[in-house]
Amino acid sequence: MSYLPYALAVWLLVVGLYGVVTSRHLVHLVVSLTVAQSSTYVLLLAVGYRKHATAPIFKGIPLGTKATDPVVQALTLTDVVVSVAVLALLLAVAVQVHVREGTLDPDEIPAVRG
């Protein structure tokens, strides 16, 4: 039971990769990639958790209270915001593929020319 969060991270990555490989529509592929990305957030936060600890904010809380790790939270929070910009970029590329090739099926899109 104490390894459940790590197992969840592996599960989310596996499920996301399955969605990416067996996808038949580029937008479905990109959203499955989002699921695979969220596995890293879960893993990072699970590594930084301390039993019976509170959040690392010390306003009104005396110094020395048990708190979770702030470094992994800092890494994860910037990651979450930037991932949406990358999602938008991937979707813009998907729209361009539809304009050029007329289809969004990964199996039918011909290889890159030139």
Partner 1 sequence: MSPRARIPLFLVSLAGLAALLGFGVAGLPAFGDYHGPYGLVLNQVVLGERHTTNVVAAVVFDYRGFDTLGEELMLFAAVAATALILREAREEEARQVLDAVRSEPVRLAGLSAVPVVVLLGLFVVAFGYLTPGGGFQGGTVVALGLLLVYLAAEHRAYRRLTPTAVVDVFEGGGAAAFVGLALGALAGGLAFQENFLPLGKIGALTSGGSIPLLNWATAIEVTAAFLLLFGEFLEEVMVERGR
Partner 2 sequence: MIPLQVAALVLVGAGGLAVVLARDLLRQALLNSFYGLQLVVLFLVFQAPDVALSALAVGGGAAPLVILATLAKLRSREERRR
55 near 24, Cβ under 8 Å? no
Residue 43 contacts partner 2 per CB under 8 A: no
Binding-site member from 29, 51, 109, 112 for partner 1 (CB under 8 A): 51
Asked if 59 contacts 43 with a C-beta cutoff of 8 angstroms, the reply is no
- Rounded CA-CA distance 43/75 in Å is 12
Is residue 37 involved in binding partner 2 (CB under 8 A)? no
Measured CA to CA, the distance from residue 30 to residue 46 in angstroms comes to: 25
Contacting partner 1 within 75-94 (CB under 8 A) = 75, 77-79, 81-82, 85-86, 88-89, 91-93
- Shortest spacing between CB 18 and partner 1, in angstroms: 7
